[in-house]
A and B are shown apart, each in its own frame.
Chain A
Amino acid sequence: MHIGNFKETYDADEAVFRTPTVRWWMGALFVALAIFPFAADDYLLYMANLTGIAIVGALGLNILTGFAGQISLGHAAFVGVGAYTSAILTTRLGMPFLLCLPLSGLMAAALGVIVGAPSMRMKGLYLCIATLAAQMIFMFVFIHWESLTGGIRGINVPPPTIFGLKADTEFKYYFVTLPVVILAVAATRNIFRTRVGRAFIAIRDRDISAELMGINLFRYKLYAFAISSFMAGVAGCLWVNFIKIVTPEHFPLHESIRYLAMIIVGGLGSVLGTIFGAIFMTLVPEILKNILSIFQAMNPTAMSYLFPLQSVVFGAMIVGFLVLEPHGLAEIWRRMKDFFRLWPFEY
C-alpha cells in the first residue's frame, strides 16, 4: 500500500502515472532510453531494435489474446503482411516510409478483420485452429504469389528516408523504432482506460454476460482483431525496413509461437508484461546462442548436440513459466515492487 497517497480529483486518480515516485522513475527511464544509443555498440543497438519491433508486435497479440481472450496462432502472418505491404509500396511505388508505416498497419488490419470475422460463430479452440489455417494460407501466398512477393527470394528494400535523413545504421534506426514503441505502448494503455478496453476484458471473462451488458460481441471481437493485426503490420514494416529484405521464411508458424511465448512469459493481459516478455524472449535465445558458440569454438563436434538445446530451452521456458509462474514476469515484477516498497520495514 502507498502511504499518504490521496487524490483530490478523479482525473488524478485515473492518471497513468499516479504518484510522484512513479513519475520520477518514468523520467529516469526516458533519459536512459535517450542516452542508450550513444553508449551502446552496434550489436547492442541491433538487439535493441529487434526488441523494440518485438514489443510492438507482441502488444498487438496481447490485446487480442491476453486481453480479449481470442487465441491466435497466426500473428506472424500479419507481421508478414505488414512487411510485404511496406516492401511493395516502397519498391514499386516509391512511397515514403512515414506513409508506409500506417498503410502496412491498415493492410494487416483489413486482413485481420477478414480472418477474425468467423470469430462470431467459433469459439476457443475452433477459432485457434482457424487462425492456424490462416497462418498456413498466408505462408503459401507469400511463397507462391511470386509476381507480387518475389517468392522465396523475397524483396530487397532500400533503407528508409525520414525528413531527408537516411536511417541506414543501427544507431539511426533506433530513433525510428523507439518513438513507434512508445506510441504503441501509449495507445494500448489508452484503450484500456476506456469502454473499448473494458469490453475486451469482459468478452474474455464472460462473453455471454458481456453481451447482456450491452456489448456487441461481433463488433468488439473484430475491433480486437483489427487493432492486433494493425500493430502486427506496423511491426512488420519496422522489421523489413530494418533488415532490408523480406522473405517468407521470416514468418513461419514458429514465429507466431514465439510471439505467443512472449506474452505468456511476460504475462497475459498485461502491458508491462508484454514489454518484459518481448525483451526476455528476444535476449535469452540470443544469449544462449552466444554461449553455445563459445562451446563450439572449444569443441566443434559438440555443436550437433548443443544446437538442438535451443529448442529444448525455448520449450522449457514456456512450460516452466506456465507451471511455476502462470502470470509471468509482470507478476514477479509486482512482487518485487511490493517487497521494496516497504523495505526495510516489512513487518
Chain B
Amino acid sequence: MDIFLQLMVSGVAVGGIYALIALGFVLIYKATSILNFATGEFMMLGAYFCYTFLVLLGLPVIPTFLIVMLCAALLGFLVERLILRHMLGQPTISIVMATIGLGSILTGLAEILWSSDFKSFPQIFPRAPIDLGFAIVRSNMFYGFLISITAVIVFSLIFKYAKVGIAMRATANDQMAAYSMGINVRSMFTLAWALGAIAAGLGGVVIGNIGGIQPNLGQIGLKIFPVVILGGLDSIGGAILGGFIIGVVENLAGGYLGPYFGGGVKDLAPFVLLVMILMVKPYGLFGKREIERL
C-alpha cells in the first residue's frame, strides 16, 4: 500500500472532522464576531454527553445523538445568555479572555463530573476496516468522516437557504440593517451559539468514538485556529476547505517529518503553515478585508 496515499486518506478523514468543528467556530464568529476559544471544550463536552447517555444510561445510538445535540444547544444558549450577552461593547481581548476562562471552567467541571480517567466508547459501527482499493481506513474513522460531512452539508444548507440562516447571514453582514429589517438580532446571537455548540459537540462525539475521551480533549480545539484562519474567519466554505488542508498537512508532516523531528511535528505543522499563509495573505485565503471609513 502506498504510504503517501494512506497518509492522504487519513488526512482527508480527519480533515472532515476538523471541518465540522471549525464550522461550529465560524457559525458563531460570523453572526457575533466573537472568537470562541472554548470551541474545543464544547467538543469535549459533546463527547461526554454522548458517553453519559450511551454508556452510563444505556440509550440506543440514534436517541443519544439527538439528546447530545439538544444538550449542546442548551450549553451554547446558556453561555450566550449568562456570559457573552453581558459583554457587548467590550474590547476584543476581553471577549477572547472570557471564552478562554469559560474553557477552563468547563474543563474543570468535566473533570469533577466524569473524573480525569480515560474513557472509551463502545463499538457502534462494524469493526472491519474499510478497503477503498488504494488505501485502508479504520472503520471508526470512515463512519466518523461520513457523519461529519453529512453534518457539514446540513449546516451549510441551513445557513444558505433556510429563513433563519438568511436572517443570521444578514445579522452577520450588518447588525443595524438587520435590526431595522425586523430581525431579532439578539435571538440570532443565541441561535448562532446554539448551532455552533451543536456542530462542535457532534465533532466531539466523532472524535471520542475514534480515540476515546479525557477532560483535556478540548486541547484539540487549538487546531481549529489554523483551520479557520486558513480559510478566512468569516468563510464557511473556507473553513471546510481549511479543515481538509490541515488534516492532510498534519498527516503528511507526521508521516514524513516525524521520524526526524519527533512526535511534536504533527501538531506543529498546522501552525507553521498558518504563519506562512498569514505572511502572504493577512486575511486568510478567503477572508474579506473590510473597507474602512473615517
A touches B in complex, CB < 8 A: yes
Residues on A lying within 8 angstroms of B by beta carbon are 65, 69, 71, 118, 121-122, 124-126, 128-130, 132-134, 136-137, 140, 143-144, 208-209, 253, 257, 260-261, 264, 268, 304-305, 307-319, 322-323, 326
Residues of A within 8 A of B94 (CB): 264, 268, 322, 326
Q: Say yes or no: B35 contacts A323, CB within 8 Å.
A: no
Q: Determine if B158 is an interface residue (Cβ-Cβ < 8 Å).
A: no
Q: Say yes or no: A144 contacts B261, CB within 8 Å.
A: yes
Given A208-B292, A318-B101, A128:B35 Cβ within 8 A? yes
CA distance in complex: A128, B36 (Å): 13
Q: Determine if B163 is an interface residue (Cβ-Cβ < 8 Å).
A: no
Could you pull out 21 A-B pairs where Cβ atoms are within 8 angstroms?
Answer: A69-B91, A126-B284, A136-B267, A136-B271, A137-B275, A144-B261, A253-B222, A260-B93, A261-B97, A268-B91, A305-B112, A308-B112, A311-B108, A312-B108, A313-B108, A315-B104, A315-B108, A316-B101, A322-B87, A326-B90, A326-B94
Q: Determine if B147 is an interface residue (Cβ-Cβ < 8 Å).
A: no
Q: Say yes or no: A309 contacts B108, CB within 8 Å.
A: yes
Q: Which residues 121-175 of B have a CB within 8 angstroms of A?
A: none
Question: Of B97, B107, B264, B284, which is within 8 A of A144 by CB?
Answer: B264
Q: Determine if B187 is an interface residue (Cβ-Cβ < 8 Å).
A: no
CA distance in complex: A199, B288 (Å): 28
| B: number of interface residues (CB 8 Å) | 49
Q: Say yes or no: A319 contacts B101, CB within 8 Å.
A: yes
Listed from nearest, the 10 A-B pairs whose CB atoms lie closest are: A315-B104, A318-B101, A308-B111, A312-B108, A315-B105, A311-B108, A121-B282, A133-B271, A315-B101, A319-B101
A137-B271, A140-B268, A309-B108 are known; give 4 further A-B pairs, CB within 8 A: A133-B272, A133-B274, A312-B108, A326-B90
Residues of A within 8 A of B97 (CB): 257, 260-261, 264, 318, 322
Q: Which residues 226-284 of B have a CB within 8 angstroms of A?
A: 226, 229, 233, 261-262, 264, 267-268, 271-272, 274-275, 278-279, 282-284
Residues of A within 8 A of B104 (CB): 311-312, 314-315, 318
CA distance in complex: A130, B278 (Å): 8
Q: Say yes or no: A312 contacts B275, CB within 8 Å.
A: no
Question: Of A118, A144, A308, which is within 8 A of B108 by CB?
Answer: A308
CA distance in complex: A144, B274 (Å): 20
- Among A310, A313, A315, the one with the most B-chain Cβ atoms within 10 Å of its Cβ is A315
Q: Determine if B196 is an interface residue (Cβ-Cβ < 8 Å).
A: no
Given A118-B282, A323-B83, A126:B105 Cβ within 8 A? no
Nearest-Cβ distance from residue A137 to partner chain B, whole angstroms? 6
Nearest-Cβ distance from residue A69 to partner chain B, whole angstroms? 8
Residues of A within 8 A of B267 (CB): 136
Residues of A within 8 A of B106 (CB): 315
Q: Determine if B103 is an interface residue (Cβ-Cβ < 8 Å).
A: yes
Q: Determine if B98 is an interface residue (Cβ-Cβ < 8 Å).
A: yes
Nearest-Cβ distance from residue B194 to partner chain A, whole angstroms? 19
Q: Say yes or no: B292 contacts A122, CB within 8 Å.
A: no
Residues of B within 8 A of A118 (CB): 278-279, 282
Q: Say yes or no: B100 contacts A268, CB within 8 Å.
A: no
CA distance in complex: A122, B284 (Å): 10
